[in-house]
Structures are given as structure tokens and as C-alpha cells.
Amino acid sequence: MLRYLPFLLIIALTIYTFIDCLNTPEEEVKHLPKVVWVIIILVFSIVGPVVWLFAGKKRVGAGGGRPGRTQWVAPDDNPEFLKSLREEREERESREKREQRDEKDTDQ
């Protein structure tokens, strides 16, 4: 079984880099067009994936994200979420006041 491990690792690396290359936006691909990278990954089964990992894609350092991507904000710090809560509360209060008014009108 261990003699198959290198082949399985090469296949896994090739599949991973192939999918990574396909999912990478064209703007983040370096040096060559995306189609050429796909061909290199598939034709050169060991060298192609390794070259893609080191030279084919713009990598972002640890702690960074994709440019233009918003970071997650906790709900109590998110102004849009707080605004929606305030609006819901105001709607609920106005609905309760209307219902109380309607009950008074029906009782009379």
C-alpha cells in the first residue's frame, strides 16, 4: 500500500492545483494566461502543480483577505444590523399601539 502513496499524492496535488487554477480569477493569475497554466498543470504532473503553487497565483499574506472583500463584523458593531433591529422594534411598537387603539374603539 505504501508504494502507491507517492502516486496518490501526485494525483491529489494535481487535482488540487487544477481546481485552484480554475477557481482563481483571471486578475490574480501571474505571468501566463490561465489556459496556459491549466495545460502546464495537467501535462507536467509533478513540476506543473508545484510551479503553480509558487509562481502562478498572487498570494495574500497571513491575516489578509482578497482585496475589496469586506471583513466580518460582530452584530453588535454592525450599524446595518442595529438599524434593522431598531426598525423592527419601532414597527412592533406601532403595531401594538394600533391594536390597543382598535381594541378601545371596539369596546366603546
Give the number of other CB atoms < 10 A from CB of residue 66: 9
pLDDT in tens, 14-29: 999 999 888 888 888 8
Amino acid at 22: L
Residue whose cell numbers read 438599524: 83
Residue 40, H or E segment: helix 34-43
Q: Which residues contact residue 45 at a Cβ distance below 8 angstroms, ignoring those fewer than 6 apart? A: 10, 14
Burial 28-47 (b: 16+ CB within 10 A, else e): ebeeeebeebbebbeeeeee
What is the pTM for the complete model shown? 0.52
What is the mean pLDDT of each successive set of 10 residues along the chain, which is 108 residues long? 87 91 85 88 89 80 56 73 90 91 77
